[in-house]
Amino acid sequence: MSTDPLVVFTPSGKRGRFPVGTPVLTAARQLGVDLDSVCGGRGICSKCQITPGYGEFSKHGVTVHEGALSDWNAVEQRYDDKRGLTKGRRLGCQATVQMDVVIDVPPESQVHKQVVRKRAEARDITLNPSTRLFYVEVEEPDMHKPTGDLERLCTALSEQWQIENVHADLHILQTMQPILRKGGWKVTCAVNLGDNENPPMIMQIWPGFHEGTVYGLAVDLGSTTIAAHLCDLGTGEVVASSGVMNPQIRFGEDLMSRVSYSMMNKGGAAEMTAAVREGMNTLFSNIATDAGVDKALIVDAVFVCNPVMHHLLLGIDPFELGQAPFALATSDSIRLDARELDLDLHPSARVYLLPCIAGHVGADAAAVALSEAPDKSEDLVLVVDVGTNAEILLGNREKVLACSSPTGPAFEGAQISAGQRAAPGAIEKVEIDPVTKEPRFRVIGCDLWSDDPAFAEATAATGITGICGSGIIEAIAEMRIAGVLDASGLIGSSAQAGTDRCIPEGRTNSYLLHDASATGGPRITVTNPDIRAIQMAKAALYSGARLLMDKFGVDNVDRVVLAGAFGAHISPKHAMVLGMIPDAPLDKVTSAGNAAGTGARIALINSAARAEIEETVRRIHKVETAVEPRFQEHFVNASAIPNSVEPFPILNSIVSLPDVSFNTGGGDEAGGGRRRRRRG
């Protein structure tokens, strides 16, 4: 044996000696090297391409001579003629070992290839889909050994692919017999490889060798929008993405209004369930059409959502989620058939819902945890998913804590006098000159600042229609930096602030950001009630984070990740001026985009990540803000801008906030969001 040629595989470094004539694919399989094959070494699929290296490999202690592999053979020649084989490549099932050799497995020949994420700090995703294609040759029926066609197909999958205990739904039984005969007892099967709850399942059969793929959906089912990525399960790539408004909006804008709808209307929950399922079917049809993909080839779907959406999707009345102790009907991950949710995909399509962390911290937060992996972080990371509810995770390799905090819809532009959704024409960036107190801004859909001479023309089409969530945060933070707004959240009068842009409005003042009223356009101001709404929201967010820091026993975090579509547009500096997030170096405040959607995509294309996040969720410590006395205290402190107690030293080293106070002593206008009624 010791004189057999040595085979070294890269990049794995796995090595072993094999008799002369061993196919490279066989050697790879015996060593457990990740080398793809759909046809099982029959020279059909060309998935097992490898690149032999020649010359001196001192690292491996091997010299590879010409002739280390067998000569180019007829199968390879035929493939090269038909499809073209990249120069230097061989088919692993055809090339056999002759002498010591170093074999490189290129990424595209690996089953478990890495799908690279764009963000520098994000870990790559290992491709490991639920469903893969396998080519098999099936024994023909024999009167003397009267087993069924299915049983012989399963035997072939077991003998040729070591896939044991395979099942098949009725639609396979109903369609399989003519396909087997058409393929001359050679077929390609898409097999869902199963998990700890379900056995492997034959999803689809094609006659002969089938060159194709199957698809999966990663769905972020939000209260407001439903977003889905259609992924190729063979490559892990997103082939199309799309979103629709959640049709449940007609029953209530936010979650609690939907819970009350179900409480006030008999059958209301069922109505909302039907609406969201119907909405998803429409979305899935559209996305499949966009991508030119047959919807019946979508074999897997992963859903992430908050607990109320989770229950409504499953047809569970969310009643209990509306009152303490916020009991979930079920907290664990859920695996079911798509047809149980009336979803019109492949007839045996599977659905996976990530586990919920708690009654207020849903599968969306679990997905954020999967994407951002605080449990694998060396330093202490705070992850906030900013939406109508903020889901907050704090942790590192040792421990992860989670809570949710009811920020309300202010960050999304609701409850703001000039607020609007993030859409062309919405103010998204604001700067206020600290000397002149004059603002300039940018709107969505235009790269110019408003003081640019070309701005008016450039925005003529969209107009300037309002302020979106990130715009209001910048506006308020800039007002605070410019001394137009005091720490308690009061806007100064024109005299106090030294600018005519401060104008009285009722008993308080507003700051005029843009006035197009002379030409019939809107008049966009930031009012004191706007400030109050943002104060409430940011105080809820901060106090949730601060509560987790208390529980963790720290006063600082090493870094902050802002997740959620909104989080992607927040300026870290302005968020910190507002005191939304704890004090941290600005370059340590990053955006993760739609981390919940990414988490769904990870769970979709790497099915091993499902067990991983289930285990992580089990280990996450849940903190219920509603019953924590310190939450109230933090909330009151955090109502000030940035905070009445916390020092924010890093922020103070970057900006110095004017020490102004516009409270004329007449009342308790500031702090805590509480307001005492007083006489005119």
Instruction: Name the token pair of 588.
Output: 């340590």
Nearer to its own copies, 341 or 467 (CB): 341
Helix, strand and coil percent figures for the chain, each rounded to 5: 35, 25, 45
Q: How many residues bind its own copies (CB under 8 A)?
A: 47
Nearer to its own copies, 221 or 314 (CB): 314
Residues 353, 306 contacting (CB under 8 angstroms): no
């001579």: which residue's tokens? 65
Nearer to its own copies, 178 or 680 (CB): 178
Nearer to its own copies, 401 or 533 (CB): 401
Q: How far is the CB of 535 from its own copies (least distance, A)?
A: 27
Instruction: Single out the segment in contact with its own copies by CB under 8 A; choices: 101-109, 117-125, 313-321, 595-603.
Output: 313-321
Where in 437-496 is the site for its own copies (CB under 8 A)?
none
Q: How far is the CB of 138 from its own copies (least distance, A)?
A: 11
Cα distance from N-terminal residue to C-terminal residue, the chain: 100
Residues 154, 134 contacting (CB under 8 angstroms): no
Q: What contacts 165, CB < 8 A, 6 or more positions away?
A: 199, 200
Q: Which residue in 174, 209, 160, 216 sits closest to 189, CA to CA?
A: 209
Binding residue for its own copies (CB under 8 A) from 336, 423, 554, 655? 336
Instruction: Single out the segment in contact with its own copies by CB under 8 A; choices: 131-139, 352-360, 377-385, 531-539.
Output: 352-360
Q: Which residue in 363, 395, 333, 383 sits closest to 597, CA to CA?
A: 363
Is residue 340 a contact residue for its own copies (CB under 8 A)? yes
Rg over CA atoms, the chain: 30
**Residues 141, 379: Cα–Cα separation, whole Å:** 62
Binding residue for its own copies (CB under 8 A) from 83, 87, 118, 144? 144
Binding residue for its own copies (CB under 8 A) from 324, 461, 608, 645? 324
Is residue 330 a contact residue for its own copies (CB under 8 A)? yes
Is residue 143 a contact residue for its own copies (CB under 8 A)? yes
Residues 191, 200 contacting (CB under 8 angstroms): yes
Instruction: Name the token pair of 160.
Output: 């040729």
Nearer to its own copies, 116 or 173 (CB): 173
Binding residue for its own copies (CB under 8 A) from 104, 139, 550, 624? 624
**Residues 33, 40: Cα–Cα separation, whole Å:** 15
Q: Which residue in 208, 217, 240, 226 sits closest to 346, CA to CA?
A: 217
Where in 194-213 is the site for its own copies (CB under 8 A)?
197, 199
Residues 389, 255 contacting (CB under 8 angstroms): yes
Nearer to its own copies, 173 or 611 (CB): 173
Q: How far is the CB of 614 from its own copies (least distance, A)?
A: 12
Nearer to its own copies, 127 or 369 (CB): 369
Binding residue for its own copies (CB under 8 A) from 16, 106, 141, 322? 141
| H helical segments located in 34-169 | 74-83, 149-161
Residue 508 burial by Cβ neighbours in a 10 Å radius (0-12, 13-18, 19+)? middle
Nearer to its own copies, 270 or 650 (CB): 270
Is residue 142 a contact residue for its own copies (CB under 8 A)? yes
Is residue 170 a contact residue for its own copies (CB under 8 A)? yes
Nearer to its own copies, 356 or 539 (CB): 356
Phi-psi region of 131 (alpha: psi -120 to 50; beta: other; left: phi over 0): beta
Instruction: Single out the segment in contact with its own copies by CB under 8 A; choices: 252-260, 295-303, 320-328, 670-678.
Output: 320-328
**Residues 609, 593: Cα–Cα separation, whole Å:** 20
Is residue 314 a contact residue for its own copies (CB under 8 A)? yes
Q: Which residue in 560, 535, 538 sits closest to 549, CA to CA?
A: 560
Nearer to its own copies, 345 or 513 (CB): 345
**Per residue, what are the HEC states of 471-510?**
HHHHHHHHHHHCCCECCCCCECCHHHHCCCCEEEECCEEE
Is residue 391 a contact residue for its own copies (CB under 8 A)? no
Binding mask 230-259 for its own copies (x = CB under 8 A): ------------------------------
Nearer to its own copies, 314 or 382 (CB): 314
Binding residue for its own copies (CB under 8 A) from 319, 415, 422, 494? 319
**Residues 297, 226: Cα–Cα separation, whole Å:** 21
Q: How far is the CB of 620 from its own copies (least distance, A)?
A: 10
Q: How far is the CB of 317 from its own copies (least distance, A)?
A: 7
**Residues 602, 15: Cα–Cα separation, whole Å:** 31
Where in 146-165 is the site for its own copies (CB under 8 A)?
146-151
Is residue 320 a contact residue for its own copies (CB under 8 A)? yes
Residues 9, 18 contacting (CB under 8 angstroms): no
Q: How far is the CB of 504 from its own copies (least distance, A)?
A: 45
Nearer to its own copies, 4 or 337 (CB): 337
Q: How far is the CB of 140 from its own copies (least distance, A)?
A: 8
Q: What is the DSSP letter of 142?
A: B
Binding residue for its own copies (CB under 8 A) from 332, 379, 555, 668? 332
**Residues 460, 457: Cα–Cα separation, whole Å:** 5
Instruction: Name the token pair of 328.
Output: 């979930």
Strand 334-337 with 167-168, pairing:
unpaired
Is residue 316 a contact residue for its own copies (CB under 8 A)? yes
Nearer to its own copies, 81 or 197 (CB): 197
Binding residue for its own copies (CB under 8 A) from 30, 86, 114, 177? 177
Q: Residue 226 in 3-state DSSP? A: strand
Is residue 267 a contact residue for its own copies (CB under 8 A)? no
**Other C-beta atoms within 10 Å of 75: how many?**
15
Binding residue for its own copies (CB under 8 A) from 27, 44, 91, 176? 176
Q: How far is the CB of 305 from its own copies (least distance, A)?
A: 15
Strands (E), 338-477: 350-353, 381-385, 390-395, 400-405, 426-432, 439-443, 466-467
Nearer to its own copies, 518 or 627 (CB): 627
Q: Which residue in 189, 192, 178, 191 sits closest to 136, CA to CA?
A: 189
Q: How far is the CB of 358 from its own copies (least distance, A)?
A: 4
Q: How far is the CB of 398 from its own copies (least distance, A)?
A: 21
Q: How far is the CB of 311 from its own copies (least distance, A)?
A: 9
Omega cis (within 30) before 406: no
Site of interaction with its own copies (CB under 8 A): 141-151, 167-170, 173-174, 176-177, 197, 199, 314-317, 319-320, 324-332, 336, 340, 356-359, 361, 622, 624, 626-627
